[in-house]
Chains A and B, each alone.
Chain A
C-alpha cells in the first residue's frame, strides 16, 4: 500500500496525543497531576490536544473533498472510519471541559477527576477505531490481523507515556515510576510488533494469480499484457511494494534506533540525576517519534493488497 505522508503523520501524531491525553486524565483521577498548575495544564493538555488536532487536520489533506468531511460522522453503524471520526470529535467534549475546569483554578474535585477518566476512555476508543480501520480490511493480509489494533494502542500508550514523563520532569514533578511506566509500554509495544512481524512473515502466501483469475483450473497463469500502458490509480495506491531487503533494514532501524534507543535513553534518565534526566528524556522522546514514524511507514509499505494478483503478482 502506498505510504501517504499525511496518513503517517496523522496516525502517529494523534496516537501520541491521545496517549498523553489518556495519561493526563488518569493522572488527574489518581492525584498524580496537580490541579493547581495552570501552566502545566496549558503546556501538557495543549500539547496533547494540539497533536490530536494537527493529526486530524492532516488526515483531511488526502481527501478529494475536505469540505465534506463532516459527512463522515454519519455511518458509525457500519464503518470504523466513521466511528473514528465520531470518537475523535466526542473526545474533545470531556477533554475540553477537563481543561476548562483545570484552567479555571478548580481544586481537583470529583467532577474534574471524572472528566479526566472520560477523556482517557474516549482517547482509548478513538485509537482502537483507528487500528480497526486497517484491521477490518480482509483484502490486505498484513492488516487483517488481530494484533493490528492492539499495536496501535500500545504505540499510542508508549509515545504518550514518554511525553508524560518528559513533561512531568520538565515541571519538576518527575518521578522514577513515570519513566518505568514508559519503559514497560515500550517493551510491550516492541514485543507485539516483533510477534506481528514474525506472524506476517510466516503466514502462507496461498493465493495465486490462478486463484484470482479462476484460470488456475487450466494451468499456470501469468500476465501476458497489462490493461493499460501507464499505471492507474489502483496500481499507484495499492501496488506500492517495498523490497524485502529494504524492509528488513528499516525494521532493524525501527527496533535498534527507535525502540532500543528510546529504552536506553529512559534507563539513563532513571540513572542520572537532575539535568541529565531531562536531557535523556528529550532524547527518548525523539527516539520514540522516530520509532513510530518508521513503524507506520512500514505498516503501509509492507501491506500487500490482493488486487495485485490481477496485475501479475504471482502470490499474495
Chain B
C-alpha cells in the first residue's frame, strides 16, 4: 500500500542511522560491505553491468561523497566525507507516488522498502526522492534502495552483534550508528542531541529519520603544521638550480615515466 501508515498505525519506532561527518574517513568500506551483503540478501541480484569495462553501471545503495569546505577564516579548507543513502523519511513522497504499492513504509519500524516482486520499474519513486537514494537495478528491472539491512537486524541466525546494518558493522572509524530515533532515550537519540545532529534538506518536508552529526569545530589558534607543508614543498619545487636540484629534477622525470 503506497499510502503512508497513519499516526495511529505507526508504532513510534523509527529505526535509522546517525552518520558522524567528523569521524568519517571516506574509505568507502560501508558502501562496499553494503554492496556485498545486498548482492545476496533482500536486494539480490544487484549485479553491476560491464563491471570491469570502461563504463560500468549498477545499483549501489550507499554512495560516499567528499566535499571541500572553504571556512573563510584563513585556515586551510576542510575535507568532509559524506556517506549518502536512504534516510527512511517519515513523510516520503517516494512511497506515495508509487503506482503499484511496491514502495512502502513499514508501520512497525518505519523502514522504507521496495517489494521486488511487484515493482514495475517505472522509476517514478527515484524522481520523488530529493536525496538520490534510489537506484534502478538494470540487471533486475526493479528499483533498489537501502533496506536498513532488514534481513540482518532481525536475523536470529546471526550473532547478536551482527544484527545491525552491514555498513555500521563495517565502518572502521565508528562513524555510523544504528538505533531507534523514535525513542528519545536511545543511544542514537542522545548522540544526536549532544552533537547537534541535523536533517538533510529539511525544506523537502520529507522529515528524514537518519541524522548527520556535523564536523566538530576546529581547534583555532596556531596554523596547523599540515597547512605549512605545501609551502615547504613549493620552495623545493621552485628549485635553486644547484647540482642536487638538477639531479632531483632528472630523477623526477625518470621516475614519473
Contact = CB atoms under 8 A, between A and B. Distances in A.
Contact of B120 (A66, A133, A214, A224): A66
B65 A310 contact: yes
A305 interface: yes
Interface in A210-267: 211-215, 217-228, 230, 232-234, 236-238
B136 A233 contact: yes
B135 A217 contact: no
B3 A227 contact: no
A63 interface: yes
A89 interface: no
B100 A234 contact: no
B130 A230 contact: no
B57 A68 contact: no
Contact of B56 (A65, A219, A223, A230): A230
The A interface, classified by DSSP as helix, strand, loop or mixed, is mixed
Contacts of A62: 122-123
Interface residues of B, number: 70
A200 interface: no
A85 interface: yes
B101 interface: yes
Chain B interface, DSSP helix/strand/loop, else mixed: loop
B97 interface: yes
Contact of B100 (A71, A215, A307, A310): A71
Contact of B121 (A63, A207, A230): A63
A1 interface: yes
Contacts of A69: 120
Interface in A257-316: 305-307, 310-311
Given A75-B100, A207-B201, 7 more contacts: A64-B141, A71-B101, A136-B97, A215-B21, A221-B68, A233-B126, A306-B201
> What 10 pairs across the A-B complex have the smallest Cβ distances?
A64-B121, A64-B141, A82-B99, A307-B132, A72-B99, A227-B63, A224-B68, A225-B66, A71-B100, A219-B71
Interface of B: 1-4, 21, 26, 28, 31, 55-57, 59-60, 63-73, 78-80, 82, 84, 93, 95-102, 118-124, 126-132, 134-136, 138, 140-143, 198-201, 203-205, 212, 214-215
